[in-house]
Structure 1
């Protein structure tokens, strides 16, 4: 396994070096080569020097009109979103005040007709405005990009196939694990290990030195698996035809240079899928932007169509049975709902009205949320609490619990509080790093 890690470390360094070389540095030349002659003045076209025309002095009336026009332009430009701290705080305050007034108006009016029409329009808007664009990942072993999982699978596959030319055996072991379904990869790996271990133990027995390619086990478990034939070629097998039938024939001389069968077996046993790291996809939101709660399809274990169908069938069954659900029935239904999701969208609301938003796996811990919030603070040493609106403040005992355990799925709002700072003071306080405020503009 250490050889595989060294292999990946070397490939990453090579990729980074090639990237630096390809960064628009121009055509290379030998250090001892003579410098190219500079173009002579005779080869250039003569260009007349531009002489600006003399302008008459503006009259007082013209200057006043110009100043008025500039003032109008400045007022117009000032309406665009300003990422300065003062502007963001003022905008957040205005939106919080508007939100408060809207709640008061709704509570003072009758809600039957208005709620139905508002709900329909809100649903339409939310479907157009997802809470985030999707779920994104990093892969430090391959590169620094932030991509969806499917894009990473293609990128990893391309990367591994590019390395076959240089280290065929080790790369092929990784291709088996990363470019095939798990069950298919496991069956193939077990079969290849058996072939190679037979050779290690009985190198002179003819029956272990050749593989009939039409053999059912070979056809079902090896032949059509990405990377499998490359493992055998690196081990010293080559394709030959015997009596009109294709065989793989082993020869010690044809083994990949610097590789032995024991090392290859060890690589097959220890190769694993390349792990992706979930990117937080951090957003900083104003109150008006935080109303978007529609999640993209990537958050679900099953497709949205299957979820809707399951919910509809469950609703019909309950309606037809006309029974009251017991506590046990409600808990079972809740667990089924929780299992629909792979990821959870966590939002933290600060006293000044701003929100931060991040994506988490449902099996990450509460302590991971605290670490995420801490990394966003201007003062990372600040003592703070996170309060769930339903469960209250998290305690030390909660830190090792998962989001699934605490039912913080599929999206939840937590309130940020600092015991040492009174609430009236905290409203005017900026807790976030100032460079994060630039993210508000991109929403």
Structure 2
């Protein structure tokens, strides 16, 4: 078992000890203020994040893949500024033509993937590898990894992870863990009692709560239980019988702690960092179904539901009714597409969970700036600003879902030390992420 996987158990133990230690300071408390109500005081420069490193790697990959192309996209900042200017002029002219000729702009077909702002939601698993994969693919990969590790000497610990990672419905998992825990606790607390050393496999509790859960039998085997035929009510039945030679009391205590502290192997949401030109941002507006806890049909009905919600709000309704409807509405959203538009009209795009704090957006922007030591503001037009009370609020609480455009501003742009427009705002290596429209 890898050291990173072992660290999962160590972290879980610390978390349990912390929760049992009584009241104290919140882990999220900070010793310094965030800043003024409309500005962000960035942190000191730190080691580049995974997103920034991956952006550079992605850029290299694209360049290598395009070596055979005759036409290359110029990623110098001057060329990009010129391209942005041309696109803004084209967009302005197109709007004039629409107004002059009363022609409706063409709409892209919903099934056209070129209209998607992001193709799919991906994750990283720092405990296994640096790959970026959809969640379903990670589930398969994690399962394969754990069953391969099950062949090693840490089968008991690995089986705890299989229980947590290879089964659905948390209630069923928790019930199984409680049942397995009782089997072990009975032996640990009363080792001389023979009846606690046998589990009848046809027992209803065992059949309903243990057998259906992957990893449960493997855990019992690692805990010293072996399958045997025994007589019961004059009939031969299958039993799991504990043998101290296979797993002593001290080992049972270790396994019991591992069973109670094991957690699912965490996945980190990949930001899917993109730098968009104006026309690309205008064209890529659709969100994939994976952004929602909805079927495609439900998404199509969302506008109708919003209209009905306005009508309901005009009726006499209790506060409890309104809160219930609001909670039901918010459950539909899983992710938020955040776009940050800079004064040079380049757009930084990232994917976030709706349950992440606004501070994570601030960090995302700061990590990708050329000058991340200068305070900046993020605003949502027309007039929404975010004060320090907003930084710990989730995107769901702030209404920044399912997609939001934020405007970037330097603080005190009128000062003599104004931003150098010739170098732009984003790190130079990120310009290679831009793809021609």
1:404 is aligned to 396
Tell me the TM-score normalized by structure 2. Answer: 0.75
- Does the 8 Å CA contact 1:338/1:410 hold for their aligned counterparts? no
* Pair 1:308 & 2:295 matched: no
Secondary structure, in 3 states, of the residue corresponding to 2:395? Answer: coil
Cα distance in 2 for partners of 1:328, 1:370 equals 40
Query: After superposition, where does 1:209-224 map in structure 2 within 5 Å?
Result: 209-224=197-212
Partner residue in 2 for 1:229? 217
- Residue 273 (structure 1) aligned to one of 264, 270, 287: 264
CA distance in 2, matches of 1:168, 1:177: 14
Segments of structure 1 that go 5 or more residues without pairing to the other structure are 11-75
Asked if structure 1 preserves the Cα contact closer than 8 Å seen for 2:173 and 2:213, the reply is yes
Greater CA drift, 423-432 or 147-156: 423-432
User: TM-score scaled by structure 1?
Assistant: 0.74
1:434 to 419, 428, 435: 428
| In structure 2, C-alpha distance between the alignment counterparts of 1:425 and 1:168, rounded to whole Å | 58
1:402 Cα deviation after fit: 1.7
Cα distance, 1:260 vs structure 2? 0.9
> What is the 5 A alignment of 1:344-383?
344-383=336-375
- The whole-number CA distance in structure 1 between the counterparts of 2:358 and 2:8 is 32
Matched residues in 2 for 1:417 and 1:196: separation?
60
Shift of 1:246: 1.0
5+ residue gaps, structure 2, are 11-68
- Given candidates 281, 284, 287, the residue that maps to 2:275 is 284
Task: Pick closer, same or farther for the CA change 1:128–1:441 going to 2, 3 Å.
Answer: closer
Structure 1 residues 254-265: aligned runs within 5 Å = 254-255=246-247, 260-265=251-256
What is the number of equivalent residue pairs in this alignment? 364
Quote the Cα distance in structure 2 between the aligned partners of 1:228 and 1:253: 20
Structure 1 CA distance, aligned partners of 2:298 and 2:156? Answer: 42
Aligned: 1:163 with 2:149: yes
Q: Give the whole-Å Cα distance in 1 for the aligned partners of 2:422 and 2:116.
A: 30
Q: Is the 8 A contact 2:198 2:239 kept in 1?
A: yes
SS at match of 1:293: coil
Contact 2:370 2:426 in 1 (8 A): yes
Tell me the distance in 2 between the aligned counterparts of 1:226 and 1:326: 51
Change (3 A) 1:442 1:358: farther
Q: Secondary structure at the match of 1:253?
A: coil
Asked if structure 1 preserves the Cα contact closer than 8 Å seen for 2:163 and 2:215, the reply is yes
What is the alpha-carbon distance in structure 1 between the residues aligned to residue 389 and residue 354 of structure 2?
18
Check 1:134–1:435 CA distance in 2 against 1; reply closer, same or farther (3 A cut): same
Supply the RMSD in Å over aligned alpha carbons: 3.2
Q: How does 1:41-440 map to 2 (within 5 A)?
A: 77=70, 80-106=72-98, 108-109=99-100, 111=102, 114-115=103-104, 118=105, 121-124=107-110, 128-166=114-152, 167-181=154-168, 182-243=170-231, 244-255=236-247, 260-291=251-282, 292-308=284-300, 326=314, 336-421=328-413, 428-440=422-434
CA separation in 2, counterparts of 1:224 and 1:335? 33
Which structure: larger Rg?
1
How far apart in 1 are the matches of 2:175 and 2:273?
A: 40
Judged with a 3 Å threshold, the aligned counterparts in structure 2 of structure 1 residues 397 and 202 are, in CA distance, closer, same or farther, namely: closer
Contact residue 137 and residue 148 of structure 1 kept, 8 A: yes
| Superposition deviation, residue 259 in structure 1 | 6.3
CA contact (8 A) 2:9 2:261 kept: no
Aligned residue for 2:57?
A: none
Q: CA deviation at 1:371?
A: 0.7
- Relative distance call for 1:342 and 1:391 in structure 2 (3 A) is farther
Distance 1:88 1:98 in 2: 15
Q: Residue deviations 1:227-269, cap 9 Å, x none?
A: 101111111110111243211111100128x961111111111
Residues 1:229 and 1:7: Cα distance change in structure 2 (over 3 Å): farther
| Matched position secondary structure for 2:348 | strand
Alignment-derived partner of residue 54 in structure 2: none
CA shift in 2, pair 1:395/1:309, >3 Å? closer
Structure 2 residue matching 1:122: 3-state secondary structure = coil
Higher helix share: 1
CA shift for structure 1 position 338: 3.9
Give the whole-Å Cα distance in 2 for the aligned partners of 1:210 and 1:442: 68
